[in-house]
Structure formats: structure tokens, C-alpha cells
Amino acid sequence: MTTSLEARERDMVASLARSAGPAHPERRGRRLLALALLPALALGACGTTDGGGGGTPQVGQEGFVRGFLGGVAAEEPRAALAARNVLSAGGTAADAAVAAGLMLSVTLPSRAGLGGGGACLLYAPNRNEVEAIVFPPGPRAAVPPGADRPAAVPMLARGLFALHARAGRRPFEELIAPAEQAARFGTEVSRALAADIAAVSTPLFADPAAAAVFAGPGGQPLQAGARITQPDLGTTLATLRTAGVGDLHQGGLARRLEESSAAAGGGLTVPEMREAVPRVLPPVQGRAGNDLVSFLPPPADGGLAAAGAFAALQGGAAADVAASRGASVAAAWRQRGGDPALVLAAADLPAAGGAVLPASTGLVVLDRDGMAVTCAFTMNNLFGTGRVAPGTGILLGAAPGIGQVQPALLSAGLVHSPNLRAFRAAAAGSGQQAAPMAVALPLARVLGGADAASAVGAAAEPARTQLLSCPRYLPGDASTCQAVTDPRGAGLAAGATDR
């Protein structure tokens, strides 16, 4: 049962989605801004006791997909499988990316979580355009007294809700259920999560709430294959499912997070959480033959860096020269701001800084109709502030611009043919400073005719790439489509067909 408020909001979303086709740029910008503000509204719903997944079609039921599903690649296997299950149930690529992003908050909370944020590119075939949904972990205008580890304003849930509003088909509540169940009933620690816990176990375990989740017997870091249970996070996800995402920003859950973040030294406030909304922005774009190549726009400046590196590669530059160009583009934008196109074209770019930038994680999803989503997520540090807001299970993201914390280079790119109205390739990159090249180099190689499997892993360490490639486009020859995860990581590529 839904409230009348929810019904009105759903009608607004549907109306805006229908009206967002080609239009005068100024009018279209107003439409996108209006849609970006929708997640600020609280959604209410009467929940069920089955975890919210009772509406998902099962094998043999109407709505369950057979044949070509699309594909998914993610840096954590259970997130990839959650996305694949949504594709099997007839969900769109946006639905699958939402489910995977929420699952990452449970299975790879070191790099993606409710306390963090990210950015996504969405290619919608019906509109034949790419748009960016940008929701990085929010900066703080001021640090409250007593906040010794200032937390970023949480943006993941709102950002994924905005993505769903643009192109979702399955109920949003249904997409939360797999992550909720994994948190509540437990899941195995992946190799990716185990490696991150081991890397920062000493400072992480200094927080009793974090140690209760991530430490095993004898206070040792949880190993791959061990069981991890997060009941408080499961309860928080259940609240998002039943009360709506808005509850985390202006409802009872927001007030609880304000209180618990103060206890964890994060100092979040309800007004900050209420005012923080995702933005729907035009991507940074360029041509590659008859195809249009799109990258995440600032403030997700890893996309701008990837655009700079890609342009250099297309111009014949060696990989190390292209990487340096991309890093300088990002450094220039962080110093000067301004029009991304002018930054890309500038000749007097500064040298890239030497500071180590925060970790991130990425995923790519393609559905059978050719809709594609590529996302990058971050906590602005491994495990964010390293502290869990007591009673919520939420790891607090690290506020950027305070102390030595800088924003992550969120990097993703997507290629489509405007003439064919078809998808060709998408990549998501991670690996601190190497994230832009983890996008630019594989895309340049597959557009040059390389096989997707050989293109992934081409960027230098510590780059990690998640890649989708359809050399003969989609809609087109689906048999040529490949989903590939970086072999140097611990992720999973899944999909293709279900017979």
C-alpha cells in the first residue's frame, strides 16, 4: 500500500521522464533540475515482512527473462550477481545498477556505502542520449565542535533513487531487499573486502562499532570466506525500504543519524542531509568516428581526467603521456574550476599533485534492450572515517576538503551511436590516481577493434577496469557483447544468456 504522497511523486517522476527527450537546452536543463530535486521528497510505503522481494518473478513465472539478458561486471561478486538477478527478472540496467550499488554497501563497504556516494552515466535508448547522475559524498560547509572525524553528507541512497527515477522499472523497494537480507542474515567476506580490512585493520578496529563488524575471533581481520553479519545496517536498509529514502535525509532516520554521527565524531546535521540532492548533468562528450563518447562531468572530475586521457590516446599519444595529460586536466579543474571544455582544451595545465587520492569501486550494467549504466562509488577513504554510526550500521564517509581528505577521482565512460540509436561500450574505473586511465585506455582499445578481454587490464597498476563491449552494437548483434572484469581484481562479470 502506498501513501497519496508517494503516488503523486511517482506520477511526477513518470511525467518528467516522458518529457526529458530532445528539447531546447534551457528547457531541458529545467526538467533535469526538477527531477534531480525529487529525491529530496520523502517516500512512504506500507512494508511487508518478506524483505520486499516478494514481487520478483521467479523461474517459470511471467516476467522472468529467457535468452539474452545483457551483462554486468563489478568489483565484488555478490553485487554482480544481484544485478544479474534483476536482469533475469525483467529489470532495466538502471534497476540492476541500483540493486548492485546497494549490495556493495553491504559486501564492499570499504569503498561504497550509505555514508558515501558516487556518480553514474545512463544511456537510455528510448531517449537516445546519455546523462550523468552525480552524487559524490557531500562536503561540509562547517565542522561542528567535537567532530574529530568530520563525516561526508551521505548521498548513495539518494543518488541511486535518482537513477531509478530516470529509468527504473521494478519497484525500488524490491531492489533494496537483496542488500537488506545480506546484511541481516549475513554473507561471505569476499577477497576484495578481506584485502581492504587487512590494509587498515589497526585504525579501523580502534572504533568498537567497526571492530564488532569487521574483526573476527581474537580481534583478527575477517578473512575471505568468513561470515559477516550487519544487523544494524539491515535494519537501516529495511527502514529505507518501508519509509523511503527521504527518511535518511529528513525523517526519523535522519535524526537518529544526526545523534549517532555525533557520538562517532562525524557531526552530521539534519539540515545538511535535507539539502543535499543529486544532480542530473550533461556528460563531457567527444566524437570517435560516428560514435559519441561520454564521460562523467565535474564534480566527478575523474571523468574529466578520463576524457583528457582518451583524447590524447586518440591523438596517438603513448599511454604514459595520456595518463599525465588526464591527471593534469583533473588538477587544473580542481584549482580553477570553470567550463570543462575549456579545461580540456587548455595548453597551460598544472602538474598533477603528488597526494594519494581516495579509493573507489565501479560497476557496469547492460540490459537486453541496450540501456546501459556505468557507475563509480567512493567513501573518500577506505572505510570512510573508519567509524560506524552506532545503532545504524552506517560507515561514515570522510568529508572531502578537510584535513588531508580529497575527493576521489570518480571515473566512468560510455560509448553509443546517435545515428544507430545503439550502445557500443562502457567502462568504470578505480585505482586512486589510475582510475581515469582504467576507463580511457580500455575504451580506446575496444573502439580500435581490440577484444574486450584483452583491453581490460591494459592500464597500469593500481588501475582496475569493469568493461562492457558490443562491437556490433545493441540493439544489433547481441552475440558479440562481452562483460569483463579486471583479472587483477576480485570481481565478477556475469550475464550474457539465461537458457
Contact, 151 vs 384, CB < 8 A? Answer: yes
- Cα pseudo-dihedral 173, 176, 180, 181, rounded to 10: 90
Residue 472, all three cell numbers: 556490433
Residue 15, all three cell numbers: 511525467
Secondary structure (3-state) at 361: strand
pLDDT at site 66: 63
Exposed / middle / buried, residue 14 (Cβ in 10 Å: 0-12, 13-18, 19+): exposed
Q: How far is residue 436's CA from residue 319's CA, in Å, rounded to a whole number?
A: 12
Q: How far is residue 225's CA from residue 158's CA, in Å, rounded to a whole number?
A: 31
DSSP state of 56: S
Residue 33, all three cell numbers: 533540475
Q: How far is residue 415's CA from residue 28's CA, in Å, rounded to a whole number?
A: 22
Secondary structure (3-state) at 122: strand
pLDDT at site 498: 43
Contact, 429 vs 438, CB < 8 A? Answer: yes
Helices (H), 264-349: 270-275, 301-314, 319-336, 340-345
Neighbours of 427 (CB within 10 A): 33
Which of these, 197, 158, 182, lies nearest to 231 by C-alpha position?
A: 182
pLDDT at site 164: 98
* Alpha-carbon distance values, 404 to 81, 148, 151, 377, 401 (Å): 36, 13, 13, 19, 7
Angle at the Cα of 475 (from 473 to 476), degrees rounded to 5? 60
Which of these, 444, 437, 476, lies nearest to 293 by C-alpha position?
A: 444
Residue 23, all three cell numbers: 528539447
Q: How far is residue 100's CA from residue 82's CA, in Å, rounded to a whole number?
A: 6
Per-residue pLDDT of the chain (499 residues; tens, 9 = 90+): 333 334 433 433 333 333 333 333 333 332 222 223 333 323 333 332 233 344 555 544 445 556 789 999 999 999 999 999 999 999 999 999 999 999 999 999 999 999 999 999 999 999 999 999 999 999 998 887 889 999 999 999 999 999 999 999 999 999 999 999 999 999 999 999 999 999 999 999 999 999 999 999 999 999 999 999 999 999 999 999 999 999 999 999 999 999 999 999 999 999 999 999 999 999 999 999 999 999 999 999 999 999 999 999 999 999 999 999 999 999 999 999 999 999 999 988 888 776 778 999 999 999 999 999 999 999 999 999 999 999 999 999 999 988 888 999 999 999 999 999 999 999 999 999 999 999 999 999 999 999 999 999 999 999 999 999 999 999 999 999 999 999 999 999 997 544 4
Return phi, psi of residue 239, to 5°.
Answer: -65, -40
List, in order, residues 6 or more apart from 43 with CB less than 8 Å away.
5, 6, 9, 172, 243, 244, 245, 246
